[in-house]
A and B are shown apart, each in its own frame.
Chain A
Amino acid sequence: MSVIRVNGLVKRYGRRDVVRDLSFEVPAGSVTAFLGLNGAGKTSTLRVLLGLASPTRGSATVFGQPYAALDHPARRVGAVLEANASHPGRTGRRHLAVIAATAGVPKRRIAGLLDQVGLTAAADARVKTYSLGMKQRLALATALLGTPELLILDEPTNGLDPAGVRELRDLVRRHAATGGTVLVSSHQLAEIAQVVDRAVVIHEGRLVGSGPIDELTAGHDSLEDAFFALTQTATGVSA
C-alpha cells in the first residue's frame, strides 16, 4: 500500500515548469530518500504534496487524499520544510504552543518533545538566539507534535552537528521500526544511504530513478555514484 502517491504532477511558476510530469509512490513502512540537485523540484513537489501550493496539473496525495482533506493532519503527517519557520521573538516553547493549539494537540506534549529533540535547556530562550541546528531541532519537534505516522523531512540535517545528525538518523530508524513511513530529502548522500531502503531521484523536475536502494545502486559503488550516473544520464538525454 502506498502512503504517498504523486501522479503526473506538473508545477509551473511563471513560464517555468519546475516539476514535469512527475509520478512516484512511497510504500507504507518504508524510508525513502527523495534526491535531486538544487533546483531539481524536490521542495516544490513537497509543497504541493503538503497542500501549501496547488498543482498546475496532476495530483499528489497522502494516505489516498489531498493533504488538506485529511482529518487531524498533524496526527497523520509531520513535516520539516524549512528550519527558519519560527518567529524570532518567540521562545521555542511558545512556538510549539502556538502550533499545538493550531493542530489541536495537548500542550502537555511540548515538554516531552523538547526533551526528545534536545532543546529543554533552550526552551525558554528566544528563537533568534538559536543556531541553525537548534532551529532545525525545533522544526523537527514541530513535525513530531502529533506523533504522526508519516514524516516528510526536507534537508533535515542542514545545520545539525554530528551528534544531531546521529540523533536524527536514530529517530528515523526508530520511526520506521514502529511501522512509520519516512520521505526524506537530503544532499548528504553518504549519510542518507545509511537509513533509507528506497529512493526517488529527480532531475530538472523529472523522475530519473525510483525503487529499492539495492536495485538503484546495483553496478555502482555507492548511492552517490548511482545518483550521479542517473542525473548525468538524464542531462545527456535532455541535452
Chain B
Amino acid sequence: MSTVTVAGPTGTSMRGLLTAQLLKLRTRGGLILLALNLLLPLAVLVVTLAMGQQTFDLTGADLARPLTDAIDNPLLALILVAVVAGADYRHGTVVPTLLAEPRRLRVALSTLLAAGGIGVAIAAVCAALGAAIALPWLATQGVPIGDVLTDPDLWWRILGQTTVMAVLSLIGASLAILLRGALGSILTVLGISFGEGFLAGLLGPQSVSWGLFSSLDRLGDPTAADLGGPIWQPVLVVVGVLTAVVAAALVSTARRDAA
C-alpha cells in the first residue's frame, strides 16, 4: 500500500448524490432491467403491428395508440427502481453511502428523485422509439401523420403515461426504502394490483374506482371516453397514495437505525 498524493474532496451536493444514484444502475442486473424496460414494450408493439391486431377507426385518439402503448410498462420501471434502491440494503452499501453523506433524508430524497427521473426518462425514450416504429407504419396504412401529431389526445396520453411511470417508480423506490429491499416493494405493488383486479372481477369495476391501479389507468389515459367520472378523483387517489408512501419512506429513514 504505497502512499499517494491526492486532492481533497469538493464537498457533497444533491448533484453528486444523483450522480451516485445513476451510477448504481450500471450493474449487469440493472442494465438488463433497463434494456427490458426499453425493448420489451417495443417488441410487443412490433409484434402487435406485424400481426395486424391493432385496429383503428382512423379518427380520434386511437390513431395515437401505437405510440403511447410503447410507454405503457410502468411495472417494469417499478421493478428496476426497486431493485436499484433495495440493493443498498440487500448488499449493505447503505453503510458506506451514509458514512459519505450522513444526512439520511438527503440520501433518501436523491434516491426518490433519481427513481422519478428514471421513470420519466424511460417513458420519454420509449415514446421516441415507439414513434420511430409506429409513425412509418401508420403512414403505410394511409393515416395522415400530421393529423396524428396534432391530435391533443396523443399528447394528453403521453403526459398521462409518463406521469404513471414517474408515480409508480416513486412508489417502488419509496417502498424499497421503507421495506429495505426490492422484493417486498415489488410484491406489495403486485399484491395491490392483483387485489384490485380480483375485486373488480368479483364485484365489478365500480368497486375499485377508488383503487390505486384504477386511478393510474385513468391518469394514463385521461381522454378515454368510456371511463367517465371526474378526473379529480384519480388525481386525489394517486396524490394521496404517493404522499403517504413517500412520507413513510422519509420518516422511516430519519427515525430508524440505518444499519
Residues of A in contact with B (beta carbons under 8 Å apart): 47, 50-54, 67-68, 70, 72-75, 77, 79, 81-82, 84-90, 94-95, 97-99, 101-106, 108-109, 112-113, 115-118, 139, 142, 145-147, 167-168, 170-171, 174
Q: Which residues of B2-31 are within 8 A (CB) of A?
A: 2-13, 16-17, 19-20, 23-24, 26-30
Given contacts A67-B102, A87-B93, A102-B101, are A52 and B12 in contact (CB under 8 A)?
no
Q: Report chain A residues within 8 Å CB of B225.
A: none
B75-87 vs A: 1/0 string, CB under 8 Å?
Answer: 0000000000001
Q: Report chain B residues within 8 Å CB of A115.
A: 2, 4
A167 to B3, CA, bound (A): 11
What are 28 A-B contacts with C-beta separation under 8 Å? A50-B102, A52-B257, A73-B101, A77-B99, A81-B95, A82-B95, A85-B92, A86-B91, A86-B96, A87-B27, A87-B93, A88-B91, A89-B29, A89-B30, A90-B26, A90-B27, A102-B17, A104-B13, A106-B9, A108-B7, A112-B4, A112-B5, A113-B4, A115-B4, A116-B4, A139-B96, A146-B100, A147-B8
A145 to B9, CA, bound (A): 8
Given contacts A52-B98, A52-B258, A170-B1, are A87 and B12 in contact (CB under 8 A)?
no
B226 to chain A, nearest CB (A): 45
* In the complex, B54 has a CB within 8 A of chain A: no
Q: Report chain A residues within 8 Å CB of B1.
A: 116-118, 167-168, 170-171
Q: What range describes how many residues of B lie at the interface?
A: 35 or more
CB contact between B8 and one of A47, A75, A97, A139 (< 8 Å): that residue: A75
Given contacts A102-B20, A115-B4, are A74 and B9 in contact (CB under 8 A)?
yes
Quick check: A74 and B6 within 8 Å, CB to CB? no
A108 to B9, CA, bound (A): 11
A179 to chain B, nearest CB (A): 14
B112 to chain A, nearest CB (A): 15
A144 to B257, CA, bound (A): 24
Count of A-B contacts judged by CB separation below 8 Å: 138
Quick check: A85 and B96 within 8 Å, CB to CB? yes
* In the complex, B97 has a CB within 8 A of chain A: yes
Q: Report chain A residues within 8 Å CB of B87.
A: 87
Quick check: B23 and A75 within 8 Å, CB to CB? no
A145 to B27, CA, bound (A): 22
- A48's nearest neighbour on chain B, judged by CB, is B257
Q: Is the interface of B mostly helix, strand, loop or mixed?
A: loop
- B259's nearest neighbour on chain A, judged by CB, is A52
Q: Report chain A residues within 8 Å CB of B19.
A: 101
Q: Report chain B residues within 8 Å CB of A168.
A: 1
B26-52 vs A: 1/0 string, CB under 8 Å?
Answer: 111110000000000000000000000
A145 to B2, CA, bound (A): 15
Q: Report chain A residues within 8 Å CB of B4.
A: 112-113, 115-116
- B104's nearest neighbour on chain A, judged by CB, is A68
Q: Report chain B residues within 8 Å CB of A89.
A: 27-30
Q: Report chain A residues within 8 Å CB of B107.
A: 102
Q: Report chain B residues within 8 Å CB of A70.
A: 102
Given contacts A104-B10, A106-B10, A118-B1, are A99 and B91 in contact (CB under 8 A)?
no
CB contact between B100 and one of A73, A167, A170, A171 (< 8 Å): that residue: A73
Quick check: A105 and B2 within 8 Å, CB to CB? no
A51-B258, A102-B100 provided; 6 other pairs, C-beta below 8 A?
A52-B98, A74-B99, A103-B16, A105-B9, A115-B2, A116-B1
Given contacts A102-B97, A103-B101, are A72 and B20 in contact (CB under 8 A)?
no
A186 to chain B, nearest CB (A): 17
Quick check: A98 and B24 within 8 Å, CB to CB? yes
- B90's nearest neighbour on chain A, judged by CB, is A87
A19 to B9, CA, bound (A): 34
Q: Report chain A residues within 8 Å CB of B29.
A: 89
Q: Report chain B residues within 8 Å CB of A109.
A: 6-7
- A114's nearest neighbour on chain B, judged by CB, is B4
CB contact between A99 and one of B5, B10, B27, B96 (< 8 Å): that residue: B96
Quick check: B3 and A106 within 8 Å, CB to CB? no
Q: Report chain A residues within 8 Å CB of B100.
A: 73-74, 99, 102-103, 105, 145-146
B145-188 vs A: 1/0 string, CB under 8 Å?
Answer: 00000000000000000000000000000000000000000000
Which 9 pairs of residues, A with B, have the shortest CB-CB distance?
Answer: A89-B27, A103-B100, A112-B4, A101-B20, A53-B257, A68-B102, A85-B92, A104-B12, A167-B1
